[in-house]
């Protein structure tokens, strides 16, 4: 009887896909926060003030959270690295200049890592611009290099020129688009941005962030085939990553941090 029970338990584990990693000591609950612009004006759904960001960083630190990069998460999922007991990932979309002007300084002050998802076309428009404003400027290639050199920021791909809603929304499919045409469009755009970023920082870019969180049938498979190790969405939710399992990396959920909420209200709402 005992042998039969053990055999049935083994069969159940194999069928359901459980592994020895499926326990608290080999998994981490990881909230990922999605910020955008950090500015003293125009605070709203996608703009947070520097004072609120400082409050966020202080809140997380006081509660024992450690800000890690997506590369840290990837290494953990590869079974090659470890994570602190209370990790959090801080992401900043679109590549605003204020991510250097405000965020990097606050990250240094609080000992935080953060990830910046750059839109290549926005960066190219800054070429030759000498007037820099935390209100409306985007990161130039030199500023991207400066961020990377500081050692706190991780650079991610947010498309070269697909951060728009026409003729397609983000990287979603156009109506009637063939598999071949869809793949060709994504490869051409994403690899252009990736090449620009890798030239600027001298390092591999392995994280892709969906504009507007939009994607279509087969999108994840295309980016996986290009060697991206993690895909960031706009779905709200807390991720659970397992040591030695990479599947959770291809649909990373994030909570949008609206500038309209105060720090405590926002983090309590998402269970942090």
Average pLDDT over residues 162-189: 96
Phi, then psi, of 4 in degrees rounded to 5: -65, -45
- Give the pLDDT score at 15: 33
Residues 106 and 50 sit within 8 Å (Cβ to Cβ): yes
pLDDT band at 11 (very low <50, low <70, confident <90, very high): very low
Question: Tell me: the pLDDT tens digits for 236-250?
Answer: 999 999 999 999 999
- Give the pLDDT score at 21: 42
User: What Rg do the C-alpha atoms of the chain give, in angstroms?
Assistant: 20
Q: Locate 181 and state its tokens.
A: 């045409």
pLDDT band at 7 (very low <50, low <70, confident <90, very high): very low
Q: What percent of the chain has pLDDT over 90?
A: 89
Q: Which of 43, 147, 159 is nearest to 93 (CA)?
A: 159
- Give the pLDDT score at 23: 53
Question: Tell me: the pLDDT tens digits for 78-129?
Answer: 999 899 999 999 999 999 999 999 999 999 999 999 999 999 999 999 999 9
Question: Tell me: the pLDDT tens digits for 141-175?
Answer: 999 999 999 999 999 999 999 999 999 999 999 99
- Give the pLDDT score at 125: 97
Q: Is the pLDDT of residue 8 over 60?
A: no
- Give the pLDDT score at 20: 39
- Give the pLDDT score at 148: 98
Average pLDDT over residues 55-63: 98
Average pLDDT over residues 16-45: 80
- Alpha-helix residue ranges (DSSP H) falling in 44-140: 50-62, 70-77, 98, 104-110, 120-125
Average pLDDT over residues 17-31: 66
Q: What percent of the chain has pLDDT over 70?
A: 91
Pairing of strands 153-157, 114-118: parallel
Average pLDDT over residues 173-189: 97
Average pLDDT over residues 192-204: 98
Work out the mean pLDDT of the chain and round it to a whole number.
92
Q: Is the pLDDT of residue 252 over 80?
A: yes
């Amino acid at each position: 009887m005992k042998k039969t029970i053990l055999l049935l338990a083994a069969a159940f584990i194999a069928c359901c896909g459980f592994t020895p990693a499926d326990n608290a000591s080999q998994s981490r609950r990881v909230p990922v926060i999605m910020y955008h612009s950090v500015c003293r004006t125009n605070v709203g759904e996608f703009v947070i003030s520097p004072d609120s960001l400082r409050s966020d960083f202080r809140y997380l630190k006081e509660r024992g959270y450690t800000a890690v990069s997506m590369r840290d998460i990837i290494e953990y999922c590869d079974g090659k690295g470890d994570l602190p007991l209370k990790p959090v990932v801080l992401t900043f979309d679109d590549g605003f200049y204020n991510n250097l002007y405000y965020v990097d300084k606050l990250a240094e002050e609080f000992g935080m890592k953060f990830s910046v998802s750059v839109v290549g076309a926005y960066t190219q428009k800054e070429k030759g611009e000498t007037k820099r404003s935390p209100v409306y400027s985007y990161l130039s290639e030199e500023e991207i290099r400066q961020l990377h050199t500081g050692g706190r920021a991780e650079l991610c791909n947010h498309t070269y020129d697909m951060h728009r809603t026409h003729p397609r929304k983000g990287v979603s499919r156009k109506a009637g688009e063939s598999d071949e045409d869809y793949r060709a469009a994504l490869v051409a755009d994403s690899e252009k941005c990736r090449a620009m970023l890798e030239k600027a920082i001298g390092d591999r870019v392995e994280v892709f962030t969906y504009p507007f969180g939009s994607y279509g049938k087969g999108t994840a498979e295309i980016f996986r085939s290009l060697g991206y190790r993690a895909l960031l969405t706009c779905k709200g939710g807390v991720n659970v990553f397992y040591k030695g399992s990479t599947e959770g990396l291809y649909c990373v959920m994030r909570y949008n941090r609206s500038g309209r909420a105060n720090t405590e209200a926002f983090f309590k709402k998402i269970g942090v």
